[in-house]
Amino acid sequence: MKTKQELRSAYRQLRKKLTPDQVKEKSIAIRRQFESWLSEREPLTHFHLFFPIDRFNEVNTFYIMELLEQKDKVIYTSQVSKDSLDMDTLKLPKDAAFFLDEWGIPVPQESILVAPSKIQVVLVPLLAYDSQGNRVGFGKGYYDHFLSKLNADVIKIGLSFFEPEPEVKREMHDIPLNFCVTPEKVFTF
């Protein structure tokens, strides 16, 4: 089994090889798969999104944000608190405008700081994941820390351009996914 560091390195390289057109095409395919998943769960209303860091070729979640806005869903995101692993939860206005912070993360120009208690679904960034829903993030621990503070029944969905690994070593603090959406299908764990 590969270590998390080996997987991080391998998937960073795989992402680097994707062209901007491939990232766009695969992100739109992920949106379609997510829309199909959502069509069976219409009562869900409160969604937490991460927004893509372009230089890391992350899944472009702005396509999913557009879909959620069309369906009148409530959208949240987070911003890292200075000097801690905590992330502040921000409720987005409809048609929010964004700017890039010092890490290249899109941040809403206007938002409302809220408690994360209403969040029902969190779209989780990742580099790799396995067939049991264990994920490899960027290694800072922000999302595991954030997820640990949410209601236990929050649905955790990874987004990935790639298929699952056979196995990812799970550590005590790791919080597994319930689903992972790829361009081809939705994996259920």
Residues contributing to the annotated binding site = 4-8, 58, 135-143
Q: For residues 40 and 49, give the distance between their C-alpha atoms in angstroms, rounded to a whole number.
A: 19
Q: For residues 13 and 138, give the distance between their C-alpha atoms in angstroms, rounded to a whole number.
A: 13
One-letter amino acid at 154 equals V
At 83 the pLDDT is 66
At 64 the pLDDT is 98
At 23 the pLDDT is 98
Residues contributing to the annotated binding site for substrate = 58
CATH number of the domain within which 179 lies: 3.40.50.10420
Domain count, the chain: 1
Residues contributing to the annotated binding site for ATP = 4-8, 135-143
Q: Are residues 85 and 141 in contact, defined by beta-carbon separation less than 8 angstroms?
A: yes
Domain with 96, as residue range(s), is 4-188
- Nearest CA among 67, 69, 77 for reference residue 34: 67
Q: For residues 83 and 36, give the distance between their C-alpha atoms in angstroms, rounded to a whole number.
A: 39
At 80 the pLDDT is 79
pLDDT tens for the 189 residues of the chain, in order: 889 999 999 999 999 999 999 999 999 999 999 999 999 999 999 999 999 999 999 999 999 999 999 999 999 999 877 666 778 899 999 889 999 988 888 989 999 999 999 999 999 999 999 999 999 998 777 888 899 999 999 999 999 999 999 999 988 888 999 999 999 999 999
Long-range contacts of 142-147 (CB under 8 A, 24+ apart): 142/80, 142/85, 142/87, 143/175, 144/173, 144/174, 144/175, 145/85, 145/86, 145/87, 145/173, 146/78, 146/86, 146/87, 146/116, 146/122, 147/122, 147/175
